[in-house]
Structure 1
Amino acid sequence: MATSSSSTLPSGCGVFTTVPDVFFIPEFVFGGLVWILVASTKVYMDNPQGWVMFVSVFCFVFTTLWFFLFISGVNQKSSVWPTLDVAYHAIAAFFYLSASVALANVTIRLQNDSLNFKSYQEDIAAVVFSYVATLLYFIHTILSAIRWKSF
């Protein structure tokens, strides 16, 4: 008897209790914190925070959509969902890593600017949360790949 994808992908409240899907909530939280912190800082002309904002908003919105698709059970209708899950989380991890590096670079450049100390502190927090979000998406990718391989 062949195992179908619908027997291993969670839906409904099962999303809150299965690994790697339990990572959706912390991805929301830390991605949202990055979004809020970067949005509250000053943006300078040579500042790549536009990319950071794009990544945090894109991942927040798409993870929300992905989460609701899993809760609604749409992921039960096709065997392509495990592959899409791995692909999305891998892209999100890569995007967040690139945004984290860019944000860390900006933060290092703001270190000696005493006029923007508040922005510097907010950027430090955003860098930390961005790397945490990167780690969460990366772990989600690895665990989703393990689940995908078990099909």
Structure 2
Amino acid sequence: MEKPGLWYTGEMEEERPRSQTVTTTTSSYCETFTTSTSLSYDKSFLTTAPGLLLLAEIVFGLLVWALIAGSEYFLFAAFGWVMFVAVFYWVLTVFLLIIYITRAYTRIPKVPWTLVGLCFNGSAFILYLISAVVDATSVSNEIPQNHNYNTWAASAFFAFVVTTCYAASTYFSFRTWRTRS
């Protein structure tokens, strides 16, 4: 009588454990991928016009949302919109700067990075322009006990500065996209 995992030898009914054979195979499929996982640091990117514009967008964008966040913006829906645009594009710009500095975009060649940059900068320019106009038109000194007037006025100024930076980035992205396509 056979028991699972044991051999039946016939006459003597001697039971012994089965021998386990393991067969391994190797594949050379990974030869198309690079084996290095380290990212390089591109020092020269920060000296180019797009690199300097990214830094300016980060600094001035931070000023926009920090000035509004330090006030009672939640009482006015317009400043909530400006906060959304400022924080959203500030975070994405920081990620984009990290991608460009570490040259991570070279590791993902299937993504059309010039088109991604153009769409990102173009949408940031349009939405920042709208939010800068909303910010500037919402600043009023006529509200009773408005101690946020100077803060909101400064945020409107820096919103227009960031809008100008994104407009310049859109121009450089368009030139790069046009020459590569």
* TM-score interval for Structure 1 and Structure 2 normalised by the shorter chain: 0.7 to 0.9
**Is the contact between residue 41 and residue 119 of structure 1 (CA under 8 Å) also seen in structure 2?**
yes
Normalised to the residue count of structure 2, the TM-score between the two structures is 0.71
| Cα distance, 1:20 vs structure 2 | 1.9
- How has the CA–CA distance of structure 1 residues 56 and 46 changed in structure 2, closer, same or farther, with 3 Å as cutoff? closer
Q: Which residue in the other structure is 1:111 paired with?
A: 141
| Cα distance, 1:95 vs structure 2 | 1.2
| Cα distance, 1:104 vs structure 2 | 1.1
1:20-68 alpha-carbon deviations (Å, 9 max, x no partner)? 2221111011000001111112236453111111111111100000110
Q: List alignment gaps of at least 5 residues for structure 2.
A: 1-40
Is 1:21 the counterpart of 2:51? The answer is yes
Question: What is the DSSP-based 3-state SS (H/G/I as helix, E as strand, rest coil) of the residue aligned with 1:20?
Answer: helix
Counterpart AA for 2:125? A
Q: List alignment gaps of at least 5 residues for structure 1.
A: 1-10
For 2:126 and 2:172, the matched residues in 1 are separated by 16
Normalised to the residue count of structure 1, the TM-score between the two structures is 0.85
For 1:61 and 1:42, the matched residues in 2 are separated by 22
| Cα distance, 1:105 vs structure 2 | 1.5
**Is the contact between residue 74 and residue 80 of structure 2 (CA under 8 Å) also seen in structure 1?**
no
Q: Which residue in the other structure is 1:5 paired with?
A: none
Is 1:34 the counterpart of 2:64? The answer is yes
**Is the contact between residue 57 and residue 166 of structure 2 (CA under 8 Å) also seen in structure 1?**
yes
Alignment map for 1:121-136 (pairs within 5 Å):
121-136=150-165
For 1:63 and 1:53, the matched residues in 2 are separated by 15
Higher relative contact order structure (alpha carbons within 8 Å, sequence separation ≥ 6): 1
For 1:43 and 1:140, the matched residues in 2 are separated by 29
| Cα distance, 1:94 vs structure 2 | 0.9
Q: State percent identity of aligned pairs.
A: 28
Structure number, greater radius of gyration: 2
Q: Which residue in the other structure is 1:58 paired with?
A: 88
Q: How many residues align?
A: 138
For 1:111 and 1:91, the matched residues in 2 are separated by 31
**Is the contact between residue 48 and residue 102 of structure 1 (CA under 8 Å) also seen in structure 2?**
yes
Question: What is the DSSP-based 3-state SS (H/G/I as helix, E as strand, rest coil) of the residue aligned with 2:77?
Answer: coil
Alignment root-mean-square deviation, CA: 1.6
**Is the contact between residue 47 and residue 106 of structure 1 (CA under 8 Å) also seen in structure 2?**
no
| Cα distance, 1:15 vs structure 2 | 1.7
- How has the CA–CA distance of structure 1 residues 112 and 86 changed in structure 2, closer, same or farther, with 3 Å as cutoff? same
Q: Which residue in the other structure is 2:32 paired with?
A: none
**Is the contact between residue 28 and residue 60 of structure 1 (CA under 8 Å) also seen in structure 2?**
yes
**Is the contact between residue 27 and residue 136 of structure 1 (CA under 8 Å) also seen in structure 2?**
yes
Is 1:83 the counterpart of 2:115? The answer is yes
